[in-house]
DNA sequence: GTATATTCCTACTATTCAGATAGGAATATA
DNA sequence: TATATTCCTATCTGAATAGTAGGAATATAC
């Protein structure tokens, strides 16, 4: 229950890899072989990370990916959301209008609270905590 | 991300239905029609709730399901776990031995912390909060 | 003791989604 | 021009979720 996708776990490893390079860039192939991630799958992951502004890329020869910003400024929430979208225990959690049960939905506040609890935890932790290992 | 199964949502509605009966019993068919849940699907849900000791059942004519205990003693965690098992952001979260990354897994403590945060929230809330609507 | 209402059990189907793979177009460097 | 790279699109596969179907077991009522 509440399991995290392989994609997100890969993304965290990829970001941790880039974080350790301190601004230098790495190619997708570098990351894939170092982290044991299927290259073609990783490409899709890096593409999403780029869309969310967490990495920037350069193509052509000598191209690669570079982390944006400092590790302590990259929240785990940002990485998770870049992969699988925002936390939504129920699909209608952030728009009451789309609630099937409408005004009569008793668990609504409960779900909103759950989302808040998860978001808060993910937002309190940064890539730095991961890279440094036992900060959590 | 982190969405809850239809099964769990159905289970909550079914439990809320039973909670409002204050110890009286209802048949699966009653609950199904009142809550708009497919009967045959609901039967499987009630079976799991029974396995976890959240409801008890009586079969044959005049049979049905009855909630065990008071609504404030039924944690939401119990319901969620009865449906989809324990909270596991990563499958190895509760046995370091099964960790693919082993001792070298940097995010491990982070995942354990996430599980704790979710478990705590779910455990702090009871069926009573749901039935009463805006306690959350 | 027969009809009926119910839980309970097993198996099946359909749909969706995650994970992965494949091939190649666009682009930058040497 | 050759090469290394990102980037784009399409496809395949396996597993899980949601739902369906049929009937066996069991308790009650008449
Ligand atoms: S129907 Fe939207 S939260 Fe319940
Ligand atoms: S491999 Fe088990 S927590 Fe990372």
Complete domains list, chain A, with CATH: 6-132 (1.10.10.10)
Whether the CB-CB separation of B15 and B127 falls below 8 Å is answered with yes
For every residue of A1-17, DSSP letters joined together read --PPPHHHHHHHHHHHH
pLDDT along chain A (136 residues), means of 10: 97 97 95 97 98 96 96 97 96 85 87 97 97 71
The closest CB to that of A3, out of B4, B90, B136, belongs to: B90
Give me the CA A4–C1' D11 separation in Å, rounded.
25
Task: Give the pLDDT confidence score for residue A104 in this predicted structure.
Answer: 80
Task: Give the pLDDT confidence score for residue A13 in this predicted structure.
Answer: 97
- Interface contact flag, A1 B76, Cβ < 8 Å: no
Q: Which long-range contacts (CB under 8 A, 24 or more apart) does A117-121 make?
A: A117/B117, A117/B118, A117/B120, A117/B121, A118/A87, A118/B2, A118/B114, A118/B117, A118/B118, A119/A77, A119/A87, A120/B117, A121/B113, A121/B114, A121/B117
Task: Give the pLDDT confidence score for residue A134 in this predicted structure.
Answer: 65
A59-83 residues labelled b (16+ CB within 10 A) or e (exposed): eeeeebbebbeebeebbbbbbbbbb
Whether the CB-CB separation of B87 and B115 falls below 8 Å is answered with yes
Task: Give the pLDDT confidence score for residue A113 in this predicted structure.
Answer: 96
Which residue ranges of chain B lie beneath pLDDT 70?
134-136
Ligand 1 pocket (Cβ < 6 Å) reads: A 90, 92, 99-101, 105, 107-108, 111
Task: Give the pLDDT confidence score for residue A84 in this predicted structure.
Answer: 96
- Interface contact flag, B4 A89, Cβ < 8 Å: yes
Task: Give the pLDDT confidence score for residue B98 in this predicted structure.
Answer: 82
Residue of A nearest to B6 (CA): A90
Nearest atom of ligand 2 to the alpha carbon of A9: 4
Chain B residues with beta carbon closer than 8 angstroms to that of A110: 76, 125, 129-130, 136
Task: Give the pLDDT confidence score for residue B97 in this predicted structure.
Answer: 82
The conformational region for residue B36 under phi > 0 = left, psi -120 to 50 = alpha, else beta, is left
- Which nucleotides of strand D come closer than 7 angstroms to any CB of the protein? 2-9, 17-22, 25-29
Task: Give the pLDDT confidence score for residue A129 in this predicted structure.
Answer: 96
Nearest nt by C1' to B3 Cα:
D17
A with B: how many residue pairs have Cβ under 8 Å apart?
95
Per-residue tokens: A114: 């759950």
Footprint of strand D on the protein (CB under 7 A): A 27-29, 40, 43-44, 46-47, 50, 57-65; B 5-7, 10, 38, 40-41, 44, 58-63, 84
Nearest nt by C1' to B26 Cα:
C6
Q: Which of B121, B126, B119, B116 is nearest to B75 (CA)?
A: B126
- Which nucleotides of strand C come closer than 7 angstroms to any CB of the protein? 3-10, 18-23, 26-30
Question: Which residue is closest, via its CA, to the C1' of C21?
Answer: A40
Nearest atom of ligand 1 to the alpha carbon of A111: 3
Residue B22, φ and ψ in degrees, nearest 5:
50, 60
Residue B32, φ and ψ in degrees, nearest 5:
-60, -45
């Amino acid at each position: 229950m509440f399991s995290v996708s392989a994609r997100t776990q890969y993304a965290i490893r990829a970001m941790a890899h880039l974080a350790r390079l301190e601004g230098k860039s790495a190619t997708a192939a570098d990351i894939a072989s170092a982290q044991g991630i299927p290259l073609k799958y990783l490409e899709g992951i890096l593409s999403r990370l780029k869309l969310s502004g967490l990495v920037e890329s350069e193509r052509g020869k000598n191209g690669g990916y570079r982390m944006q910003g400092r590790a302590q400024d990259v929240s785990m929430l940002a990485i998770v959301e870049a992969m699988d979208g925002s936390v939504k225990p129920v699909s209608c959690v952030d728009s009451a209008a789309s609630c099937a049960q409408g005004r009569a939905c008793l668990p609504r506040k409960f779900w909103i609270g759950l989302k808040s609890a998860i978001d808060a935890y993910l937002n309190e932790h940064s890539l730095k905590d991961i890279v440094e290992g036992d900060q959590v």
